[in-house]
Chains A and B, each alone.
Chain A
């Protein structure tokens, strides 16, 4: 049996029965990585010996935690003490944080085995994992195609059975869109559900860490493991975290689901559209009541997002200046020269583009017209959801307008690339939770994702709908041939 192909909850059962040990899982993972990684490039930092060592140390101890012995990969923008954490950027070359992110502390406390870091778009700027300084990650379903982004490495690793669990981060869809195009489950929690302490910020008011897993039950387990109030993050919410496992298995009979018309217009791929339609029928068959609705300000979401997110990013990325850590080029002449040289050599094109955009949006004379206006429209978008959730238990949409596109296809056309997140961005602007689950395949065997959006802090509801759908379909069982 290849343990790396199993889900986390199944492995926990086997571990509890003492049929297997964490070392067995770890070895299976390492075998797969050695076989697949040269084609996939899903990992940014991986040290086989280091991982085995951690696993052995864990085997000696009691292993009572909820994640007892399950290996996990971490997106490269989440700080792990004394381990490379570079956001797939040259500017953080060699950077090893002196501290653990809160989610890492939690995972260690629950006896998960930290395996390594996954590849990503530089500083999470992208939807294709092509902007990484380590080169693009490839989609396990078709190596010519992108795995989505920015958490493309995490999604590809889980999809290719290089990983059981992975953490991603989602600022505008960076968990859900790669999960969708890689055929796995990805969940963006409510803003404030998971501590951001130790997540290297892209856009502080939008970022959330979340799970990428093989099925919904695993997503629930991993979400519960990383959630909760954190005194180190004042934006984290002091709201109890339920034990999702009991709640998600309840039937969805009678639940009211809204289908927003704005998500089914324009240049949407026919195959995607048809898959979503079938998924909606399936949900109706399971007893849910689906009804058309409207989120009228949806069309402004992408514009609002690229002002708010870049403005915050321009400020968050200012600290990469060569003074304390990361890259500092040779032959520095003055402090201004050091800033310029460091940032010129350290940041890639997309990072520079977003820093310039954000700096401009915040500049005196433009602030009111751009940033302030964007904040106002953001409030309207949030109100759309507040209204909808008065009537509906959840909202059903496609995760992405297309299946995985080809590597290189959109990289030189940023505006087209930005539209990859058109269905995922609103959830970040509104702060609500969203999950993407597999709901079909294109004729060329590329996964299609269904997005379920829920009320703030009601992750249980979207997990429940996702779980019911998954238990009655087979999509999540398909694995890419690598």
Chain B
């Protein structure tokens, strides 16, 4: 039987405010345990929360970037449950009226686009962190009260790959608007996944499980792949899916049951009386909208239109703001955006990967890259020479024009010089010359390669090809 996979994702995002959401404590990561805590974020009796407007501003920024409808009134609710990392034994969150609802973002799967709807975005406070020891547990409240934005999607994804693409697209937007470090390992971005299966063609949703404890986007994908298989096997063998929360065990690559919904909490949500509801001022929202940078998707569309990139290339160029800015500078300088994109996706991307750096750490200036590209276009250097030249520019910091002169890397188009090299190559490779003459057209490519080798890549390959053909035919 064939099943359709249905996935919805809940992302928890730590907003990168300087101070916590309801008090003035610092949000720095990695400080000594409990060094960033006060009566408010420790939930001491008598303390009261006061909303950090910056957290609200960042939340609204996300909501606008995800095309959500923003609430007219800001309200908070209490989510009541007992847990030692929750100092008040309730969490200040938003239940009935979240900060924003009904948004969407696009993902690109191959050559097609898919719209994933966002159900809601709400603001809440993070909990402390527990450290379990042999006979006791310790609590660090530094994290308690850090602003957390929960972004809940509709169950619009139909494969683990789509879930992965959604997370990548979401992260790309969040980085563009600079609201979070989006670091899954440090926990500034966390993701829980809901997954269910249904028979192809069915409209009702199957019983879902909730998967937690993934610490990378690839982990989310792997966990969902495992879980989809597990559910399919169960259904295939006449079993039933338990509605439950499961933890992903990255080491074993499996999901394991945590708690079942039967024991689920009744959170007894009610309006937080310590924070009076207030209206979202239009001027506040307008200011956020005005400061909003161009987001990945409109940028991608503009790249297609203005620079004639393919959808695919444009999407890659637009997915990271640093890369996009870099690309655009090069494209404007060198008049050949397509080549600039190719170099960024090819050699430059490989260089950054090998050296484990990001675009902002790259010493190669856009002007240097476009200078080099111009020399290729005008035939001064060959593409082959450029590959080595690129590394030299990065290592020496010198401009490409200067390096080409110093090292004498100009392309050789001088017929006399080329002829000598060609004659030599034919003499040394009689067999290939014969092959070509007897009709194996491919053999000429081998000979071109030999000429390139002899000239250290500086020969104009088209010219060599042309001359070789002439020469071999003539001798015949």
Q: Which residues of A contact B (CB under 8 A)?
A: 77-79, 85, 87, 92, 95, 97-99, 101, 196-201, 203-205, 231-235, 311-312, 314-315, 318-321, 323-325, 335, 339, 359, 362-364, 367, 371
Contacts and interface: CB of A to CB of B under 8 A. Distances in A.
A381 B25 CA distance: 40
Contacts of A200: 45-46
Interface string B330-353: 000000000000000000000000
B82 A339 contact: yes
Interface string B79-96: 010101001111000000
Nearest to A236: B48
Contacts of B90: 315, 318
B33 interface: no
29 contacts: A87-B45, A97-B39, A196-B48, A198-B46, A200-B46, A201-B46, A201-B274, A203-B273, A204-B273, A205-B273, A232-B50, A234-B275, A311-B270, A312-B273, A314-B268, A315-B80, A318-B82, A318-B90, A319-B45, A323-B87, A323-B139, A324-B42, A324-B43, A325-B44, A335-B137, A359-B268, A362-B80, A362-B268, A367-B270
Contact of B88 (A198, A203, A318): A318
A459 B141 CA distance: 41
B273 A324 contact: no
A233 B276 CA distance: 10
B39 A98 contact: yes
A319 B273 contact: no
Contacts of B45: 79, 85, 87, 92, 95, 97, 200-201, 319-320, 325
Interface string B235-258: 000000000000000000000000
Interface of B: 39, 42-51, 78, 80, 82, 84, 87-90, 137, 139, 266, 268-270, 273-276
Contacts of A97: 39, 44-46
Given A95-B45, A324-B44, 13 more contacts: A87-B45, A197-B47, A197-B48, A234-B48, A235-B276, A315-B268, A318-B82, A319-B87, A323-B87, A335-B84, A335-B137, A362-B270, A364-B268
A324 B41 CA distance: 12
Contacts of A203: 273
Nearest to B39: A99
Nearest to A100: B46
Contacts of A234: 48-51, 274-276
A378 B326 CA distance: 60
Given A97-B45, A99-B44, A204 B274 contact: yes
Contacts of A323: 84, 87, 139
Given A234-B50, A312-B273, A359-B268, A319 B39 contact: no
Contact of B80 (A77, A92, A95, A318): A318
Contacts of B44: 97-99, 324-325
Closest 8 CB pairs of A and B: A318-B89, A204-B273, A205-B273, A362-B268, A200-B45, A198-B46, A79-B46, A364-B266
A315 B270 CA distance: 9
Consensus secondary structure, chain A interface = loop
A324 B274 contact: no
Contacts of B270: 311-312, 315, 362, 367, 371
Nearest to B275: A234
A281 B336 CA distance: 96
A196 B44 CA distance: 14
A318 B81 CA distance: 8
Nearest to B80: A315
A107 B89 CA distance: 32
Given A199-B46, A321-B89, A235 B39 contact: no
A79 B44 CA distance: 10
Nearest to B85: A323
Contacts of A371: 270
Contacts of B46: 77-79, 85, 97, 101, 197-201
A318 B50 CA distance: 20
Nearest to B139: A323
A81 to B, nearest CB: 10
Contacts of B89: 318-319, 321
A382 to B, nearest CB: 15
B48 A319 contact: no
Contacts of A312: 270, 273
Nearest to B272: A204
B277 to A, nearest CB: 11
Nearest to B276: A235
A205 B272 CA distance: 9
B82 A232 contact: no
A235 B268 contact: no
B406 to A, nearest CB: 65
Contacts of A325: 44-45
A459 B276 CA distance: 22
B276 A363 contact: no
Contacts of A99: 39, 44, 47
B201 to A, nearest CB: 34
Contacts of B48: 196-197, 232-235
Given A200-B45, A204-B273, A364-B268, A324 B87 contact: yes
Contacts of B43: 319, 324
A77 B43 CA distance: 16
Contacts of A101: 46
A53 to B, nearest CB: 25
Nearest to A207: B273
Nearest to A362: B268
A362 B270 CA distance: 7
Q: Which of B46, B269, B273 has the most CB of A within 10 A?
A: B46
A16 B47 CA distance: 37
Nearest to A237: B276
A312 B88 CA distance: 13
A321 B39 contact: no
Nearest to B45: A200
A359 B269 CA distance: 11
A235 B80 CA distance: 21
A320 to B, nearest CB: 8
Contacts of A319: 43, 45, 87-89
Nearest to A308: B273
Contacts of B42: 324
A77 B268 CA distance: 26
B441 to A, nearest CB: 78
Contacts of B50: 231-234
A315 B276 contact: no
Nearest to B40: A232
Contacts of A367: 268, 270
B215 to A, nearest CB: 25
A98 B40 CA distance: 11
A326 to B, nearest CB: 9
Contacts of A232: 48, 50
A304 B228 CA distance: 50
A470 B193 CA distance: 68
Contacts of A87: 45
Nearest to B44: A97
Contacts of B268: 314-315, 359, 362-364, 367
Nearest to A78: B46
A318 B39 CA distance: 16
B82 A321 contact: yes
A87 B45 CA distance: 10
Contacts of A204: 273-274
Nearest to A205: B273
A145 B100 CA distance: 56
A190 to B, nearest CB: 14
Q: Which of A78, A95, A98, A321 has most B Cβ within 10 Å?
A: A321
B92 to A, nearest CB: 11
Contacts of A98: 39, 44
A264 B273 CA distance: 32
Tell which of B44, B139, B276 has the most Cβ of chain A within 10 Å. Answer: B44
